[in-house]
Structure 1
Amino acid sequence: MKRSNRLAWMGAIAIAALVLLSLIAAPNNTKITVGSTYNRAPDGYGAWYNFMQKQGVSIQRWQKPFSEIQPQNNPATFLQVSTYPRGTSLDIQEREWVEKGNTLVILGVEGRVTEADFSTLQKSPQGDIKIETRRRDKKAKQKQIDLGDRFGAIVWQETYKQGKVIFSTTPYLAANAYQDNLSNFKYLADLVNKNSNTILVDEYIHGYKDADVREKESEGDLSSFFAKTPLFPISIQIGILLLTLIWAQNRRFGKPVTLDTQVTDNSEAYIQALALVLQKADTTDFVIDMVGKQEQLQLQKALGLGQIPLEHQALLNVWVEKTGASAADLDAVLKLRSHKQPMSEQELLSWLGKWRTIRLIRNS
């Protein structure tokens, strides 16, 4: 191999290694939007934020660091939905701010995993509050507990001079997933609005920042982001070297490669054709029967059962014993499978969505 070819290949390998290293070292921010009011997914708070606005409550998104809350914002209630469980201890800034008569609400603090059922209904003046966590806090004093059971506190408060802090072991107290359980929305609304303060919802921790904050933190545009990382000058140097080698040879790195003829996937084509026929014939019962059998077998496999389909009630009993979850959702999808009348497309999608919920519960 000629020296020039060897240098060209070395340049290409260096760039490939740089890209691979960037992908491996890049932080995982897939959960950063959990609890954000901009998030419309089940773990977001977009629906609750709209609910509060319709009530005429003074609420706004806070897209700056906590330290920038000014005196004119006082007294205020600051709601923070943690992406990851945080401790119950406050830093100096938080403590001083609360002691001035403000309220800090933190959803998603650390708590011990107890023997409580994963899904429970907790009594409150707003109705039954759906809680889906086994985490409880056993250190909270009885008079401070706002929501809890014999396993410990779920929601409690602590007083700091003129202000107070409200903690919750679940970050999903009024998440989008509970839109059908309006008591959850009303309960959180009552927690943050008891003193009729201005309510600030922390969006800064979810990555949302005002323009002046981004400018101050040198995140005004993409070029400034790359300019402050050491990878940028390295990339420029390697890019110049590679372009120089290509220009010197004025040809490709290797011989032209003949493209392979794309091979049709017969199985995929058959499945798509069959799906189209079933859709035209409005034969949903066949789809429900076949999908239902496979979903049940996968569920039995995950529960450590055999491949022979169990009876309806026997499977429900094992489900409750293994997961601690309610049998109602599983009972509904199993019963619907035995429903022989054709279903509409919307009903079929709803049924498939319920099976997806079952999979999420069994994997949690």
Structure 2
Amino acid sequence: MRSPLSWNNRWLWLSLGALALLLTLLWFGGAVTHQLESGSTWNRGPAGYSAWYARLQQQGVAVQRWQQPVGELLAQVAEAEAAGTVTLVAVLPGFVGQGELAQWLPWMGEWLEAGHRLAVLGIQMPVTSAPFAQAIASDWGTVEIHTRRRHGGPHSQMLLGDDYGAVVWTQDQNLLLSATPHLAANAYQQAAGNVALLTAWVTAAEGTVWVDEYLHGYRDEAAIAQELGSDNWLAYLARTPWLLLGVQALFITLVALIALNRRLGPRQAVLEPSVNNSQAYITALAGVLHKASSHDFVVQTLSQAERLTLQKQLGLGETPVTDEQLATAWTQHNGGHLQVLEPILQPIRPRTEAQLKIWLQQLQSLYRPKDLRP
């Protein structure tokens, strides 16, 4: 039989469950954050673009990070005098299909219509039979890639590709697309062709190069103030991580219900029942005698005890008396028949349990009101 969990053990399991849930939430949160930072110029990991951004700065290229909605950049460039052609680089956090670009880059059409240049890295293309790891020759040197995705549709110019299709291409003069988001990532900083290809295209217009960091979750003070001060409460609710908050609230509620469960009132300690040693001894002895069929011992012990009890009730004291004295006192006190005293004066020697029961019934008749009267 399994023993119930003690309160301390229950709290131990609850603590372990809370720790497991916390680690799970941290793992999922870390995975989402890590994926969002992929392609960011702040990321120094293999999927980041910090080395490429630093190389542009070393070459004296006018490159800056943009940490606000791109619509604000459009307005800023439109107001600036002689701003010229501006190039914007958007490295997607992962592969994004062309049908989903409008959700990630809603400003894309307006940006191109304004005559600016745009490089989008990470367009999800179909998987082909091309080798996953390849070193492809280009006008800027050997470019290393790790993807089987290729663009096989129409394009203006293929900057990098093979027999299976294009890896990097231009859709028109101002739009560069790449089937991999890791074209010039830190993992390829030793491959001269990777960095050179992207650098050559973004600097071809000799204007300012902007890198979209707002896409990776980075916000400057102006963007944060604008979001916090927004009057659109629906937009605020849409940005709130309700799923994470809901999981945490559910876990806290379950812990509270288990810890504060008081359906029948306050908790009370279960008291151990007191043990009657005399009763326990008598019960144990009776069990032993019954199992051993010691009928003679039972008759002898009970007859002596009952004789002494009857003697006290008749006023003869505790000193043993003769049968004649006991019978005389009985007759004087009750006026009854002496046959009633036979179970005490002449106890039988029962051979069976049935005979023992009959003798016990005769012994009990001594204490009936008609036999013993005050």
- How high is the TM-score relative to the length of structure 2? 0.53
Superposition pairs of residues 77-116 of structure 1, within 5 angstroms: 77-89=87-99, 90-91=101-102, 93-116=107-130
SS at match of 1:78: strand
Give the count of matched residue pairs.
241
What residue identity is the alignment partner of 1:208? Y
The separation in 1 between residues aligned to 2:50 and 2:250, in whole angstroms, is 41
2:75 counterpart residue number: 71
Instruction: After TM superposition, give the deviation of residue 216 of structure 1 in Å.
Output: 3.0
Cα contact 2:131–2:148 (8 A) shared by 1: yes
Higher relative contact order (CA 8 A, sep 6+): 1
Q: What does the per-residue CA deviation read over 1:201-247, in whole Å, with 9 as the maximum and x for residues that have no partner?
A: 1111222111222233349xxxxx899956898899999999999xx
SS at match of 1:31: helix
**Percent of aligned pairs with the same amino acid:** 35
SS at match of 2:200: helix
Structure 2 residues without counterparts, runs of 5 or longer: 1-5, 79-84, 230-239, 268-374
What residue identity is the alignment partner of 1:144? Q
Moved more, 225-234 or 94-103: 225-234
1:343 counterpart residue number: none
* CA RMSD of superposed structures (Å): 4.3
2:206 counterpart residue number: 196
What residue identity is the alignment partner of 1:35? G
Structure 1 residues without counterparts, runs of 5 or longer: 220-224, 250-364
Q: What does the per-residue CA deviation read over 1:258-292, in whole Å, with 9 as the maximum and x for residues that have no partner?
A: xxxxxxxxxxxxxxxxxxxxxxxxxxxxxxxxxxx
SS at match of 1:112: coil
What residue identity is the alignment partner of 1:44? G
Cα contact 1:140–1:153 (8 A) shared by 2: no
SS at match of 1:217: helix
The separation in 2 between residues aligned to 1:73 and 1:229, in whole angstroms, is 39
The separation in 2 between residues aligned to 1:15 and 1:178, in whole angstroms, is 43
Instruction: Call closer, same or farther: CA 1:102–1:189 in 2, change over 3 Å.
Output: same
SS at match of 2:36: coil
- The answer as to 2:156 corresponding to 1:156 is no
- The answer as to 2:153 corresponding to 1:139 is yes
- The answer as to 2:48 corresponding to 1:44 is yes
The separation in 2 between residues aligned to 1:86 and 1:207, in whole angstroms, is 17
Instruction: Call closer, same or farther: CA 1:215–1:233 in 2, change over 3 Å.
Output: farther
- How high is the TM-score relative to the length of structure 1? 0.54
Instruction: After TM superposition, give the deviation of residue 37 of structure 1 in Å.
Output: 0.8
The separation in 1 between residues aligned to 2:67 and 2:250, in whole angstroms, is 33
2:234 counterpart residue number: none
1:130 counterpart residue number: 144
Task: Find the structure with the greater CA-based Rg.
Answer: 2
Which runs of structure 1 show a deviation greater than 4 angstroms over 4 or more consecutive aligned residues?
12-19, 21-27, 225-245
Cα contact 1:88–1:167 (8 A) shared by 2: no
Instruction: After TM superposition, give the deviation of residue 38 of structure 1 in Å.
Output: 1.0
Instruction: Call closer, same or farther: CA 1:148–1:18 in 2, change over 3 Å.
Output: same
Counterpart of 2:66 (choices 62, 67, 90) is: 62
